[in-house]
Structure 1
Amino acid sequence: MEDEIEEMYHLSTSTVTDSDIGELMIMSYSVEDIAIMIVERKEMLEKLKSSAAKHCINLQIALTRMPGKYQAALHAAQSKMNLQAINKNQLNTICQALWAVVDKEGDNIPADQEDSQMTHAM
């Protein structure tokens, strides 16, 4: 997304393109529209970064409450990009610990979403 924002700065310059029927077209965006798009994208990026950082902290807190073998299994699965390296019981325990941390943070997850998120994680 950062690269996308950087590329948006170049949209203010006029470009010449060739249409499908052989016509040359000059294209450009208004500076105001580009500025609005860039500001909106930067705001979205900051929200995503903030949310991701919070989720990482919550996961780390949850993992500290897990037995070492569960932590090792999760790290192995992440490094191999293979979620099947974790058995269902381990994954359920990790998810329950994470939900407990999230609940304390005030991000309560309804039970029906919790079940669907657990299913998606597998």
Structure 2
Amino acid sequence: MEVSVETFYQPDYSNPISGEYMFAYRITIENHNNFSVKLHRRHWHIFDSNGSYREVEGEGVVGVQPILQPGERYQYVSGCNLRTEMGKMYGSYTMENLNNKKSFEVNIPIFEMIVPFKMN
């Protein structure tokens, strides 16, 4: 399994004056196994640059529990709001090998969310 992430700052949904920064992220999950898998759960660790931390856990992603055949990839877009101009996230998916019905964890690599004007 391979997981990659792209992030996008959402200025139209952000309000810096009141400390609200919205980011979208696009996740690509690729099944490099020789068996089909089903994504059951997600577990996120979210950090603001002011030291605050929260966890998000739940079933599926964006309301679905996708099944990926060998060689298939699945993409979805979701969002995260921060209280600061930068932060980071990482997490894991609980997947099921549909051949033997065994569950396994797939790590989601750490990624940063940074308001573009901070990159100067």
Please indicate the TM-score interval, normalised by the length of the shorter structure: under 0.3
Structure with greater strand share of residues: 2
* TM-score of the aligned structures, taking structure 2 as reference length: 0.20
* TM-score of the aligned structures, taking structure 1 as reference length: 0.20
Structure with greater helix share of residues: 1
Q: Which has the higher contact order (CA 8 A, sep 6+)?
A: 2
